[in-house]
Amino acid sequence: MSSPIRPAQPADVPVILRLIRALADYERLTAEVTANETRLHKSLFPDDGSAPMAHCVIADVDGAPVGFALYFFNYSTFLARPGLYLEDLFVQPEFRGRGLGKALLLHLAKLANQRGCGRMEWAVLDWNQPAIDFYKSLGARRMKEWQVCRLAGEALTQYA
């Protein structure tokens, strides 16, 4: 049986954006999505020969995309090794419970190991208990002592 996980292709950009919007709706963050197909395509599949800013894998069921994981590589100075940062993981609600989320996460863990990464990290909303329980069941450790900080919008552009 072939894996339900495959690398995203340029033709998947509309599907990826649809899944991003579905994730935002689930997370009650719909108003924060300003992504569009053009920017997403440029980030994942740049036409100018530059390296992609991020990568994406798709979970298919019967040939139809029903989930995705979007990730990028970062760097740990403490480990002096790269890391894999999972930006988003989402499976459409009607396809949950089939192991697709686990397949996506384990696909990325395997990739992280192949790339010599010292760790794989992601954030989860504190109210999303199903996701927290899922990650814990896979052996993930919550880093409660770390707080996310963000500069965005005007706070970021004032330093341009």
pLDDT tens by residue, 15-66: 999 999 999 999 999 999 999 999 999 999 999 999 999 999 999 999 999 9
Cβ pair 81, 109 in contact under 8 A? no
Tens of pLDDT, residue by residue over 72-131, are 999 999 999 999 999 999 999 999 999 999 999 999 999 999 999 999 999 999 999 999
How many CB atoms within 10 Å of residue 57? 21
State the number of CA atoms in the 13 A half-sphere of 143 facing the CB.
9
DSSP type of residue 54: -
Q: Which of 71, 85, 135, 159 is catalytic?
A: 135
CATH architecture type of domain 5-157: 3-Layer(aba) Sandwich (3.40)
Give dist(CA 79, CA 70) in Å, integer: 23
- Secondary structure class of 37 (helix, strand, coil): helix
The average pLDDT across 124-140 equals 94
Query: CA–CA distance from 120 to each of 8, 50, 86, 130, 140 (Å)?
Result: 20, 24, 7, 20, 9
Tens of pLDDT, residue by residue over 79-90, are 999 999 999 999
Let me know if 135 is a catalytic residue: yes
**Residue-level pLDDT at 160:** 85
| Confidence band for 145, pLDDT divided at 50, 70 and 90 | very high
**Residue-level pLDDT at 2:** 67
DSSP type of residue 99: S
Tell me the pTM: 0.94
